Amino acid sequence: MPYSTQHSYIDQSDLVDVLELYFLNSLDDVEEYLPNLYKHPRNLNPSNSLFGQVTTEEMDYCFSFLTEIDKKIMKYIILRDEESLVDITDHYIYQVLPNQNSKQFDGLHNWIWKVYFEAKDSISYTLLKLL
């Protein structure tokens, strides 16, 4: 019998939806779903593979592996939180620029997206281990 490996992944668009609810502090809210209480949690939002499987506590755990600036970048990208952008820009100017090779990132915008994708990958990996 051939050796087989089961592969799993976290759907990135589903993760972004969950992250948006997390940043809005409404990931665990169930009021709008109470009429469907008899349904399995993942059937409450069948288009999202993570819905009903991830709690705020689990997301807090995933975020515990990230730096504060990673969290701010995630929040900025997902919610367009301008307050976070101020902190991100300060961090980039005073922490990243002095310590980088001039060709390493090619600007603030590229650095933000690089950190965002790395942080999202970290969260995906941690969530996959939890689920």
Nearest to 50 by CA among 83, 5, 20: 20
Tens of pLDDT along 62-85? Answer: 999 999 999 999 999 999 989 999
Domain extent listing, the chain = 12-130
Residue 26 three-state SS: coil
- What does the buried/exposed string (b/e) look like for 30-48 if buried means 16 or more CB atoms within 10 Å of the residue's CB? eeeeeeeeeeeeeeeeeeb
pTM: 0.73
Tens of pLDDT along 46-56? Answer: 566 677 778 88
Q: Whole-number mean pLDDT of the chain?
A: 80
Which residues, in sequence order, are CB contacts of 82 under 8 Å at separation 6+?
A: 76
Nearest to 48 by CA among 23, 77, 12: 12
